[in-house]
Amino acid sequence: MGKGNAVVGQSGGPTSVINSSLAGIVEGCREVADIDRLLGMRWGIEGFMADQLVDLSAQSQATIDALRHTPSSILGSSRHKLQDADLPAILAQLQRHDIRTIFMIGGNDTMDTIHRLTDYAADAGYELRGVGVPKTVDNDLFATDHTPGYPSAARYTALSVQQSGRLARDMQKVDQYTIYQSIGRDSGWLAAAGALAKRCEEDAPHLVYLPERAFDRDRFLADVAAVHARVGYVSIVCGEGIRYADGTPVSASRTTDRFSNVEFGAMGGASVGMRLHSMISEEFGWRGEFQVTESLPMCAIDRAVDTDLSEAHACGREAARLAGTGASGVMVTIERESNDPYRSILGTAPLSEVAVRAKPMPDEMINDAGNFPTEAFFDYLRPLVGDLPTYAALRLDGTGS
């Protein structure tokens, strides 16, 4: 392949470290001999079709350095679902700008976009390399130990539940229960992270409900009553995507997005946290509160994990290196070599596999009751998140000593 330009886009929801991956791609492309310029898609593939591009090669090194610690998606994102009718227009744009390499940072749908574009270009006789960089706080991408962005979002969740759990414990004479709702449409990786800081039975959370297990209202209320009787208050974490056994979302929403994914808590349905809140209030007559962070774990750079930032950057650089070797149709993956000390290497997975498969939490990471993660999950997560704070505990035996 002769010299040409490259383009990179960010797609879907952001993470705290997605811009670090972008910085890695920018720096890596400088070392690839057959890439002249690196262009950035404004607003993802949707903006690319509208010829909204920025010259990343012209940015100062200070700007690229700052990207490594800048939250959200600096290029602007999109959730446009690629249609077959879009492909000719995209190919025309690729030809217009002499783009021979495309990088996309995103999740399953994004990997599917690259896969379809490179296949279409090949059928049209146009040489195009495509390399994906993983990104999602949901951590449900197939073939990678974890996704850049997940460790930081998991830390955000663990700290939030730990600190709001202290509030719930100390305010139990006012509010007998609290519900923390986590994002995570089809997998419970992020919701489960809320239990990482728990040290004893009294600590929050007491119950964790995940999309991998069918939700049962009667069993849920029995769990709540049992915890309240033992501890005096109830702290609950739930994933936004929990469903009943028949597949109906607990949020009862019937609204879907452009990818046919249910819009949890959208018009036509309350959030799942509100649903659970109502169930408890109606059953027991208790006062309680719910907390819905929505997209905040996606952009909290103040809680970003250093290892996550470094791995995200390394994935970007590796994507550029792979393109320089002629690789195409692959996504960069993270492979864990050791837990203690934590050590990882980078690998690849075919886009054709990543695009059509997901990675739910495995059975051994969820307890038999389906209402709490197991030690196997905590062993997996601790090296990614790092140390969490330990707070004061008073002696309550009345001795004062």
Residue 240 in marked binding region: yes
Residue 137 in marked binding region: yes
| Biggest alpha carbon–alpha carbon distance for the chain | 82
CA angle 24, 26, 31 (to 5 degrees): 95
Query: How does DSSP assign 84-98, residue by residue?
Result: GGGHHHHHHHHHHTT
In the Cβ-directed half-sphere of 68, how many Cα atoms lie within 13 Å? 22
Distance CA 177, CA 236 (A): 8
Distance CA 355, CA 329 (A): 11
Query: What are the DSSP E strand ranges found in 174-233?
Result: 177-182, 207-209
Query: Per-residue b/e over 287-310, b at no fewer than 16 CB within 10 Å?
Result: ebbbbbbeeebbbbbebbbebbbb
Backbone angles phi, psi at 370, to 5 degrees: 75, 25
Look-up of token digits 């905590």: 378
In contact, 349 and 333? CB cutoff 8 Å: yes
Backbone angles phi, psi at 357, to 5 degrees: -130, 150
Q: Cis bond leading into 205, ω under 30°? A: yes
Of 86, 109, 112, 138, which residue is the catalytic one? 138
Distance CA 238, CA 207 (A): 8
Residue 145 in marked binding region: no
User: Active site includes 65?
Assistant: no
Which is nearest to 198 in space by CA: 163, 146, 154?
163
For residue 66 the two structure tokens come to: 């700052």
Residue 136 in marked binding region: yes
Binding residue positions for Mg(2+) = 108
The residues assigned a catalytic role are 138
Binding residue positions = 13, 108, 136-138, 240
Binding residue positions for substrate = 136-138, 240
Binding residue positions for diphosphate = 13
